[in-house]
Amino acid sequence: MFKRRVALLVAIAFLMTIIVPGFLSAPTKAIAASKKPIVFKIYWGDSNAEPVDVWKTPIGKKVEQITGVRLQFEFIVGSDEETKAGIMLASGDLPDLINAHNVVNKFIEAGALVPLDDYIAKYGKNIKKWYDSKALKKLKYPKDGHIYFLTPFREESDPLYSFAGFWLPIYVLKENKWPVVRDIDTYFKIVKDAVKKHPTYNGKPTIGFTALTDSWRIYVLMQQPLRLEGYPNDGGWLIDEKTGVVKDSYTMPYAKTYYKILNQMWNEGLLDKEMFSQNYDQYLAKISSGRVVGFYDERWQIQSAIDSLEKQKLYDRIPIAMPVLKKGVKRDKYNVVTMGTGAGISITKKCKDPVAAFKFLDRMAQEDILKLINWGIQGQDYYVKNGKMYKTAQQIQNYMNPDYRKKQGIGGNIWFAFPRPPFDWTYSDKSGKISWDYSDQALEQRYKPYEKEVLKAYKIKSFKDLFSPTWNSPYGYGWDIKLPDDLQAIQNQADDLQRRYITKAIMAKPGEYDKIWNEYLSKMKKIPIKKVIDFRQKEIQRRLKEWN
């Protein structure tokens, strides 16, 4: 009997050595064997992201405990993603993982990234749950048909706020009896009247209209004529959603008309005289001061200014986005829902253990981690009752505080870049939406009292109700098309010329605008931009054919 028991125990022990490793991921095995995490170095090349080491937050530490992986971050310094990429590739000094952001094609073309296709097939249980075959097909690099990252740009749209618009502060809207401002002429009249009525604020001159022009962020000035003509943000390109025909916006007729309006306002003293010299922080500081009347921007770029105004309790100075268009245009496309193909996290060919790295990325897409990074710590940031996740009033207050979220490690640009489902999808246990921001409770609680007063005045439930319905793009985002280096150089040349001459034209003295504009058109004709148009059009038409 004893020998039979020993034999049985030996057999069980042998089976455990075979079976258990199959259930453990590489990181989990590392914890079981040594209690020490696997350390992967990661370069974060997204110049938009706040350089926060989330692994040092309470939630980041729990992620490390669960996955057995610790990330060591190197964040880009400044905003020149292209130069940094060139240095890394020339030296061959690559980390294990990389978020290459806007220059991911450089790393792909250099052969520096690991294709993920086989890993997805073998180890991507969670990834395949969130990215179906159609989604994965969209992520194949056109040249070689391989997948190098799982995009975080999923088909979701904030249900509460417009993505972009022409903004006006609450006190101005109230004084004008809560108008829905739909045309640019009315918008600028309201701006002029506000400056005339309130020439100063807190002892400083009121700024009629300002613009963000710092480095690459100047795109929000360049895309204003497109937005007014009813186009989405496709990176400055006019795309026919049915035929895929692409036109450039560098010389579009309405651009001349619109910037001439800004030139007239410049000479009338209604434009911010520092708008072409201020940096991003100075731009935000002006909005935060409450003395700016109008501007165009995307909400994510000014969120910190809105947060600052709320902290100061300057609620009547908080800006609200308006669906402004050129007179005669009926539908705006300020809000788009589509799956993009922008870069996520890639594995480099210098990675010491690419299989473990991929298993880690897949583990990050598992539901327990998704709840942790998007909702927080259960019992601290949310509770579960009758199988449903919810937040108390205090937890909502904490969540709405950006300083708390940053300190705790909830949400943010870093977690956003990992493989994930759309935030408005539901967990498999039906406990709630992937992100609290999209939950029914959030829709009821996210609006602050001053916002509810504005909504009541407009007789709407959401600020998005001021805009046309969210547009579902059949070709994705036009801005995430990656160009070959030679074509990128041509586009950069056109972009630089546009920025220089639009700046000159807006600041031109009375009577000089047309001369400067004609000089601009003459120089633009010498740039072979048609090569870029042809490439982009071919890619858009490929997407329309294959994606639909």
Q: How far is CA 97 from CA 31, 115, 121, 537, in A?
A: 21, 13, 20, 32
Is the pLDDT reported for residue 30 higher than 80? no
> What average pLDDT score do residues 510-530 get?
98
Residues 6+ apart with CB under 8 A from 340: 151, 153, 154, 476, 477, 480
> What average pLDDT score do residues 206-229 get?
97
Confidence of residue 47 (pLDDT cuts 50, 70, 90): confident
Is the pLDDT reported for residue 7 higher than 50? no
Is the pLDDT reported for residue 33 higher than 90? no
Confidence of residue 364 (pLDDT cuts 50, 70, 90): very high
Both tokens assigned to 34 = 């040594």
Segment 74-81 long-range contacts (CB within 8 Å, at least 24 positions apart): 74/41, 74/42, 74/43, 74/44, 75/44, 75/49, 75/51, 76/43, 76/44, 76/45, 76/46, 76/47, 78/47, 79/47, 79/215, 79/216, 80/47, 81/45, 81/46, 81/47
Q: How far apart are CA 223 and CA 98, in angstroms?
A: 30
Supply the DSSP string of 445-468, one letter for each residue: HSS-HHHHHHHHHHT-SSGGGGSP
Residue 78 has what pLDDT?
80
Is the pLDDT reported for residue 212 higher than 80? yes
Residues 6+ apart with CB under 8 A from 207: 272, 286, 291, 292, 293
Domains of the chain: 37-156+340-440 (3.40.190.10), 164-334+447-547 (3.40.190.10)
> What average pLDDT score do residues 115-142 get?
96
Bridge partner residues of 201 (DSSP): 204
Task: Map tokens 């040349």 to a residue.
Answer: 493
pTM, rounded to two decimals: 0.83
pLDDT tens digits for range 168-189: 999 999 999 999 999 999 999 9
Residue 482 has what pLDDT?
87
Residues 6+ apart with CB under 8 A from 249: 222, 223, 225, 226, 236, 237, 238, 255
Task: Map tokens 């918008």 to a residue.
Answer: 187
Q: How far apart are CA 43 and CA 56, in angstroms?
A: 17
